[in-house]
Amino acid sequence: MSVAAIEVVDLVKRYASRAAAVTALGGVSLRIEQGEFFGLLGPNGAGKTTLISIVAGLARATSGRATVMGHDVVADYRAARSQLGVVPQELVFDPFFSVRETLRIQSGYFGIRHNDAWIDEVMAALDLTGKADANMRALSGGMKRRVLVAQALVHRPPVIILDEPTAGVDVELRQTLWAFIRRLNREGHTIVLTTHYLEEAQALCGRIAMLKAGRLIALDETRNLLRRLSGLRLALRHRGALPLALEPAVIERGEGRAVLRLARVEDVESTLAALREHGVAIEDLEVGHADLEDVFLQLMADDRQRIAA
């Protein structure tokens, strides 16, 4: 078996507090193969960033182990970190340097000299060339995030972790970023993505792991996860309460809106008839197939029911 890009085995992380110990990770095990485009999903507080921090050497696990390209992140931390590039959620930058200087300094952290050709290529791919000599303080939030991506790539790591890379950025940056990241993945780089934009994960990731409260509740190929919810989704904007008979089909609701899961196309008409019969006015509707968001919500709901039982 080839060396895994990232492997974590029985990873546990507990934080002590005055009230009680908090378990951020409760024995997570997973293996990410080289060349994968892998999604790591979960609600806030699920343990995604804690897992990434341990893999990146920014936090120590309470127990268990983690490796990057076969290198233990504790025992062989220098080699492990040299194989990894991480784009963090937070905008962290040094305000005293230009973009090019920032990337040259980042290269130096990894002992790389005369790296300007690759720096120029990365800046061009991320549309940063025009800002190469601009001070970091003068950049917009979206431009600063592009620089974070460039910093993670400057030493050409085989494994790249993107922690919410498109949070709060414009459509242009998303398209530019994903075009470049897809290219890197085609060239053999392993990509690990955490995101709350589930449509991105569905379009990009071949396999997905879902965390909740520090536990791994799903790990499978994206297409297999989507098959778990066969049938259709009926999204409604309505006035009036839904009839009780339709409540079991509701997978999402809000003020004046609901999403129902239906088993067959034929169920659309019977559902609409039930709504008309109970005087529910339909303002808008959309019929489509189940997507990753539906799967995510269903898995979270199933886990709540399992814990309650």
Q: What is the pLDDT of residues 113-141, one digit of tens each?
A: 889 999 999 999 888 899 888 988 888 88
Among the three residues 206, 226, 246, which one is the final residue of a domain in this structure? Answer: 226
User: Average of pLDDT values for 32-56?
Assistant: 92
* Residues above pLDDT 90, as percent of the chain: 38
In this structure, are 204 and 251 located in the same domain?
no
The DSSP element (H or E) to which 40 belongs, if any, is strand 37-41
* Best CA proximity match to 4, nearest among 207, 306, 296, 216: 207
pLDDT over 70 at 305, yes or no: no
Greater model confidence, 232 or 61: 61
For residues 4-19, give the mean pLDDT. 88
Using an 8 Å Cβ cutoff, are 97 and 54 in contact? no
Q: Which of 175, 204, 226 is the C-terminal boundary of a domain?
A: 226
Please give the pLDDT value at position 34.
Answer: 95
**242: domain range?**
231-289
Give residue 67's pLDDT: 95
Q: What pLDDT band is residue 252 in, cutting at 50, 70 and 90?
A: confident
For residues 20 and 51, state if they share a domain.
Answer: yes
For residues 45 and 111, state if they share a domain: yes
pLDDT of residue 230: 59
Instruction: Over range 253-260, report the average pLDDT.
Output: 88
Is residue 259 scored above 90 in pLDDT?
no
Does the pLDDT value for residue 36 go beyond 90? yes
Q: Most confidently modeled of 70-84, 92-106, 226-240, 251-265?
A: 70-84
- What would the pLDDT profile of 184-197 be if each residue is shown by its tens digit? 999 999 999 998 88
pLDDT: which is higher, 67 or 265? 67
What pLDDT does residue 206 have?
93
pLDDT band at 309 (very low <50, low <70, confident <90, very high): low
Name the least confident of 117-121, 166-170, 259-263. 166-170
Are 81 and 62 found together in one domain?
yes
Name 63's Cβ contacts closer than 8 Å, sequence gap at least 6. 10, 11, 12
Of 165, 85, 81, give the one whose Cα is nearest residue 126: 165
Q: Is the pLDDT of residue 169 over 80?
A: no
Report the range of poorest mean pLDDT among 82-91, 125-134, 204-213, 295-304. Answer: 295-304
Residues 210 and 240 in one domain: no
What pLDDT score does 245 carry?
86
pLDDT of residue 146 exceeding 80, the answer is yes
Q: Residue 292 is encoded by which pair of tokens?
A: 């990753």
pLDDT classification of 303: cutoffs 50, 70, 90: low
**Orientation of helix 116-125 relative to helix 99-109, angle to 10°:** 130
* E-only strand ranges, 76-188: 84-87, 159-163
Residue 1 is predicted with a pLDDT of 64
In the chain, the number of structural domains is: 2
pTM assigned to the model: 0.78
229: pLDDT strictly greater than 70? no
How would you classify the pairing of strands 37-41 and 207-212?
parallel
Residues 88 and 188 in one domain: yes
Whether 37 and 166 map to the same domain: the answer is yes
Model confidence at 28: pLDDT above 90: yes
| 190, 211, 226 - which closes a domain | 226
- Say if residue 27 is in the same domain as residue 51: yes
Identify whether 309 is part of a domain.
no
**pLDDT value, residue 60:** 92
Identify the pLDDT of residue 136: 87
Q: Identify whether 302 is part of a domain.
A: no
